[in-house]
Structure 1
Amino acid sequence: MTEFDDRADGDDSRAAGAPPQSYRGPVVLRGEQRNQASTTDQRLLDSRGPSDWVHTDPWRVLRIQAEFVEGFGALASLPRAVSVFGSARTKPEDPHYGQAQQIGAALAKEGFAVITGGGPGIMEAANKGAKEAGGLSVGLGIELPFEQGLNHYVDLGINFRYFFTRKTMFVKYSQAYICLPGGFGTLDELFEALTLVQTKKVTKFPVVLFGSEYWGGLMEWIRSSVAGAGNVSAPDLDLLHVTDDVDDAIRVVHDAYAAWQAAH
């Protein structure tokens, strides 16, 4: 019986008078939906058919599933790790580049793998610092409308189609976030992490903002406008740690990880 066979014939389980129906796997088709020009097997095996099916939502679900499987498989044996975020536009001569490199190296020396978006700028600097210090350097890239690619300091790299799949990997395999000066992408990761910590979806997960001059205005706005309007509580402000010192940033990460270990 093919997937489009009408199961009314010989199917006593269907109530008398029920409309004719067909099946497409677990999906029931009635009325005009039964008028299918081809079967799934035919569309799969007939290479001469249209290719539009690869852009349909059901196929996207499989792609999404495949990305999760690929990500989980590649990162399952990752040691403790920290995600470092920051602008892809930061040049090597920028002081923030050197600071990101120092942070990557310091994390590696503490036994943490360093995870970045795998691109240039701050991401490259953190990967470079980790790699040159003998640590594991990880890059989680994303498909973009402009060329970027993984930087040369990535030891383990994965390219994703979907932002939400990639974000899951950042959170699942990190014990902390360190955010250096960056743009919308950095802010996106920052506030998503804060939301997950605030709602206790993740625990013992520090978020460090490195660069008080850069982040000072944002922190003031959160304190005066957001907290001032009662939209976050006073303890929520403690979810962010602002620093200009590499050792202090590493201390925050180390202390949070030690607390997590003690709780488990």
Structure 2
Amino acid sequence: MDDTTHDLRARNFPSAQEDVAAVTPASRYAGPESAYRLAFDDKDFLLREELRPVRMQLELLKPELVQREHRIESTIVIFGSARILPRDEALQRVAAAQALGDADALKRAEMQLAMSHHYEEARRFAGIVTTASKQLDEPIAVVTGGGPGIMEAGNRGAFETDGPSIGLNIVLPHEQAPNDYITPELCFQFHYFALRKMHFLMRAIALVCFPGGFGTLDETFEALTLMQTGKIRRRPVLLFGREFWTKLINFDLLVGTGMINAEDLKLFHFVESAEEAWGVIERHYGLDALDTQTGAFAEDV
């Protein structure tokens, strides 16, 4: 007798996994040219051009469902360059350039060493967030793009303080394997930039933006645009390193020429240290109060 006969929650139909395992087609229909394979188990079918909408839906659903299963509700996103090195590696490059006597290489290496400060601050910031999160009613997880540089620093800081972190990696022609510090069950790979950026924002209670190139600017200013236009709720956006950001973007020119309103400058804050960045977030959400009731921080986009 089937031992599930009296189970009120027993399945009425076999699962998809059970059906896939049960299919043993006759040899006539087992070849690659056969259409007999179940549609959801047919990789060639799923990769057809016409199935793009289905693949986009899957790319939206997979990270969403996995994060729900791991009770990830609130996140802090760390953006920044993949090219910024940890200090020890930057020092090695300076020493190598000095040994070669190559003035141009030395100049580049010295700039990398100066920029490595941001790697170390991102690493410390992620550690501060992860440590503080353990005391909160609503834990906060660090999220990065999952690659090297500032992204690695963020995941590394969480890893070194024994906390989970998320990596939203993407398939690119020239990079990138996920870094070694992401929680494996929270390491995702994306094909579509748009869906990756949506997942950055869906649970974010704050965005911390370190120096970076086109990718960092794209992610940062899309978030600012969505807040400016009311498409998403406002949340702290912290631009790390005033000197870098004000040299890169002439915000006063944007205001002076009427391209943005003076009020739009309140959409972000400049910060210089990991402690200052965490302090802005603490004050915004009242996390520095003695008796914290953190509640739910984030809402879906």
Tell me the TM-score normalized by structure 2.
0.67
Structure-2 residue corresponding to 1:125 = 153
The equivalent residue for 2:19 is none
Unaligned runs of 5+ in 2: 1-32, 38-43, 88-115, 134-139, 288-293
Give the match for residue 164 of structure 1.
194
Aligned to 1:72: 64
Instruction: Look up the match of 1:176.
Output: 206
Counterpart CA distance in 2 for 1:152 and 1:262 is: 30
Q: Cα distance 1:263–1:109, how it changes in 2: closer, same or farther (>3 A)?
A: closer
Greater radius of gyration (CA)? 1
- Of 231, 239, 252 in structure 1, the residue corresponding to residue 280 of structure 2 is 252
Aligned equivalents of 1:182, 1:262: Cα separation in 2: 30
- The alpha carbon displacement at 1:263 in A equals 9.6
Letter aligned with residue 80 of structure 2:
G
> How do residues 1-264 of structure 1 correspond to structure 2 at under 5 angstroms?
45=35, 54-56=47-49, 58-76=50-68, 77-93=71-87, 94-111=116-133, 112-155=140-183, 156-219=186-249, 221-223=250-252, 225-258=253-286
| Mapped partners of 1:160, 1:127: distance in 2 | 18
How far has the Cα of 1:200 moved from its partner?
1.9
Identity of aligned residues (%): 40
Q: How big is the shift at 1:122?
A: 0.6
User: 1:200 and 1:71 mapped to 2: Cα distance?
Assistant: 25
Query: How far has the Cα of 1:46 moved from its partner?
Result: 6.0
Contact 1:175–1:257, Cα closer than 8 Å, also in 2: no
1:101: how far off? 0.5
The 1-side partners of 2:163 and 2:194 are apart by: 27
Higher relative contact order (CA 8 A, sep 6+): 2
Look up the SS of the partner of 2:187 in the other structure.
Answer: strand
Going from structure 1 to structure 2, the CA distance change for 1:189 and 1:147 (only over 3 Å counts) comes to: closer
Which amino acid in the other structure matches residue 59 of structure 1?
L
Query: For the residues of structure 1 that align with 2:73 and 2:132, how far apart are their CA atoms?
Result: 12
Contact 2:74 2:296 in 1 (8 A): no
Residue type of the partner of 1:107? V
Q: Which string of whole-angstrom CA distances, capped at 9 and with x for unpartnered residues, describes residues 73-122 of structure 1? A: 12222042100011111111221111110111011122121000000111
More helix by share: 2
Indicate conservation of the 8 Å contact 1:204/1:256, yes or no: no
Tell me, in whole angstroms, the C-alpha distance in 1 between the residues paired with 2:157 and 2:270. Answer: 21
Find the aligned partners of 2:273 and 2:142 in 1 and give their Cα distance.
Answer: 18
How far off is 1:44 after superposition? 8.1
Supply the AA of the counterpart residue of 2:77: S
Structure 1 residue 132, shift from structure 2 partner? 0.9
Alignment deviations for residues 10-44 of structure 1 (CA, whole Å, 9 cap, x no partner): xxxxxxxxxxxxxxxxxxxxxxxxxxxxxxxxx98
SS of the residue 1:209 aligns to: strand
* RMSD (Å), alpha carbons: 2.4
